[in-house]
Structure 1
Amino acid sequence: MMSRNAIAMVASLGALALNGCTVPPSQSAPQSAAEALRPYYATLPGDLPQANAGATLDVSQPIQRIAFGSCNHQHRHQTIWPVIAGHDPDLFLMIGNNVYGDYGYRGDADLETFADAYRLQASHPEFIAFRAQVPMLASWDDHDFGPNDSGGSFAFRERSEQLFESFWRSSETVRARPGIYESVTTGPEGQRLQIIMLDTRFFRDPLETQPYSYEWPALGSYAITDDPDATMLGAAQWAWLAEELAEPAELRLIVSSIQILTDAHNWEKWGNMPRERERLYEALAARNGGGLVFLSGDRHSGAIYYGEPEALGEGVWELTSSSLNYSFRSGDNRDREPDPLRRSGFMSDENFGLVEIDWANGRVTLDLKAADGSSMHAEQLRFR
């Protein structure tokens, strides 16, 4: 394990170079702390943790049922996996906090607690059996990316990406670029489903915090920024997203680890960067056809939302599912967080989301499922 002093020395080398201090002429000055750390990472053992190979997604076939979830702690029970499998999904989306790698993390560059979290998750029989039956795609959130609420300023994000891509057996396309964003289109013409998995961590600028106040509501401490340069996705991912949305599809699922529509709290959300959210709406408004649904997690509660953003120019539904095995409360907590966009309770019991597509009639059912498989709340919408 690299000591904190060693980390500081490596990071200082990058900082000195950036500040114009000289380095030996035989050396190329690192342009960032991340670049300075790469030679060290190259010396670490290459046997990174991996999940079992799992089922393969046949992209030529139409998808009718997708399950998804977030907030799965590797040290907690894994009883929800056979329940989800019992609903026979064609695909499962892990959309963030898939493990809690920051549990016990003390700031080492190796991210050993993250590697240990993946190893433990890979060993659970229920998880192994589920992967053998159901194809999976994954994105991350803060606790499997870095420390709580971390973003692009996390110094060891490149190591985190290595661990993620190894464990989830990411495609060569994902491995070839910074960040872990990904898009998959399935089905023949007339039944094309595009799944866009956004990366809201690797490139995101730091969030602004509210000044301390005794009157703070118990709904988070992040402020709204009007900084025109603040980014959620970063330039490369924004350009990629525009290209993906130019592709034809009859239905698109936009997967974000954090919530998109709501402004009812001050935790992490797209609304903390309203210019970026407007940019997202504008990009989606310019898409090459197809219905639209948002999927999100993060909140340790589940709910269904409906909004009509002006920049989008149409109504859109969002299903938030969290958490798979790490709930903080129980029951319906809607009174704690009033929200005019929410069309359901704010359900804090363990849960997963189910998206069912009726291609023949152009309908989608969004269903928030309890850990026993029963429905907490469902909504049906038309996408054509």
Structure 2
Amino acid sequence: MRRLSLLALSAAAAGLVSAPLLADDHGKHRHDDGHVPMYAEDLLDAYYAKLEKRIDLPVAPANVSLAPDATITRLAFGSCNHQSRSQHMWAQIAATNPDLFLFIGDNNYGDSGWNGDAALTSLRMAYQQQAETPELTDFRTKVPMMITWDDHDYGANDAGANFAFRKWSETLFETFWGSSKEVQSRPGIYESRTFGEDGKVTQVIMLDTRFFRSDLDRMEYTPERPPLGPYVPSRDASKTVLGEAQWKWLEQELAKPADLRILVSSIQVITDAHNYESWEALPMQREKLYGMLAGREDSGLVMLSGDRHAGGIYADTPEAAGGEKLWELTSSSLNYSFSSTERNTAREPDPKRLTDFISEENFGLVDIDWAAKTFTMSMRGSEGEVRVSETVSW
């Protein structure tokens, strides 16, 4: 546990520090528990209140809305979009005519060039650049959006609840994307909405896997760093992905009637094939998630994820899910690919991944056939071509 001195906080507020400052390891927000001592982020409240009055915060281009009674037949999603790289994928996504687009994390890379200042200037500038991006402006006039974040648009690589500036990051996010009053009323940015009626109800659940998440356990240092990530699974029962309040909220949401549920996690859920961030790093939390999904009000289910700068279709039948076959489509990235599909697939063998590990630029689609009660997961490339596809009955 690290607490900050007033001197350190003053330096942070003045933008004089050059490294992230950490709050309590448990990352508790005082709105969650009034008995939590005042840590770094609470001492910064007064600074942020003044900062918000002094500067104009970026706001996203206006977005069309989707009526609650609208029936969704095609949903698109994507992740990992660097604000300074080509924005050509917006036109490709729009060309598929989705009813809704889910922006599921690393929506910008606001941590690029961050010098540790408490004002998160680089993140604010990333949002400002997005506000002035003509491709995004045009897209938002055509396609309704729902948004959650991942680490790079949260504030720091792999950051969780220990990120001392998370409340300011939340303010930037909610202001830019125009979050609902419900989201703004509580810590974190998790959200759920339902669309459609008469046996065609789609529930979209956007999780927040950042604001409350405990630190992950790192493997011991060796001169030869592992090629597939630094983290090891922890069965520490005190660690959390979603935090107590969000877990209770999720249970309530899963009890609501719906015909098909879309569950969005910015990080991957099913895979065990790597040691980067994923639900595998906190297996007890994943088992809790599976158990909660098994107890949901009867409905179809598909999970969507991003983060990896590559993607594919995953399936598993975990014991904790009561024998149900669970499906996950990972799509990443929109404009920030690192490798080739051939190299990525060979580098990360995975019995739970049913496809190649697509590394080139991509976005995901979920097509719903209400008459047949099927959904089709597919991934499209940078020219709109189908890379992988799988149809599932529910």
**Shorter-chain TM-score above 0.5:** yes
Deviation per residue, 1:161-201 (Å, 9 max, x gap) = 00000111100000000000000111003001111000000
Report the secondary structure of 1:43's partner residue: helix
8 A Cα contact 1:222 1:268, kept in partner:
yes
Amino acid across the alignment from 1:104: G
Tell me which residue corresponds to 2:294.
285
Matched, 1:374 2:378: no
Deviation per residue, 1:20-52 (Å, 9 max, x gap) = xxxxxxxxx971211111111111125211111
Among candidates 102, 107, 123, match of residue 111 of structure 2:
102
Tell me which residue corresponds to 2:129.
120
8 A Cα contact 2:241 2:285, kept in partner:
yes
Tell me which residue corresponds to 2:335.
325
Report the secondary structure of 2:380's partner residue: strand
Q: What displacement does 1:245 show?
A: 0.6
Deviation per residue, 1:292-345 (Å, 9 max, x gap) = 101000000011111111111200110000000011112332111000001110
8 A Cα contact 1:4 1:108, kept in partner:
no
> In structure 2, what is the Cα distance between the partners aligned to 1:269 and 1:279?
14
Matched, 1:70 2:74: no
Q: 1:48 to 1:360 in 2, by over 3 A?
A: same
Tell me which residue corresponds to 1:22.
none
Tell me which residue corresponds to 1:229.
238
Amino acid across the alignment from 2:263: I
What is the aligned-residue RMSD (CA, Å)? 1.8
Matched, 1:83 2:92: yes
Alignment of 1:29-178 (within 5 A): 31-44=38-51, 45=54, 47-178=56-187
Tell me which residue corresponds to 1:243.
252
Unaligned 5+ runs, structure 1: 16-28
> In structure 2, what is the Cα distance between the partners aligned to 1:49 and 1:272?
35
> In structure 2, what is the Cα distance between the partners aligned to 1:214 and 1:360?
57
Tell me which residue corresponds to 1:21.
none
Tell me which residue corresponds to 1:309.
318
Q: What displacement does 1:215 show?
A: 4.8
Q: TM-score, normalised by structure 1?
A: 0.92
Among candidates 10, 35, 39, match of residue 6 of structure 1:
10
> In structure 1, what is the Cα distance between the partners aligned to 2:12 and 2:114?
17
> In structure 2, what is the Cα distance between the partners aligned to 1:61 and 1:131?
18
Tell me which residue corresponds to 2:347.
336
Report the secondary structure of 1:376's partner residue: strand
Aligned pair count? 366
> In structure 2, what is the Cα distance between the partners aligned to 1:83 and 1:9?
42
Q: 1:215 to 1:83 in 2, by over 3 A?
A: same
Unaligned 5+ runs, structure 2: 1-6, 24-35
Report the secondary structure of 2:66's partner residue: coil
Amino acid across the alignment from 2:176: F
> In structure 1, what is the Cα distance between the partners aligned to 2:152 and 2:225?
25
> In structure 1, what is the Cα distance between the partners aligned to 2:287 and 2:80?
27
8 A Cα contact 2:13 2:119, kept in partner:
no
Identity %: 53
Stretches of 4+ moved more than 4 A in 1?
A: 8-11
Tell me which residue corresponds to 1:348.
359
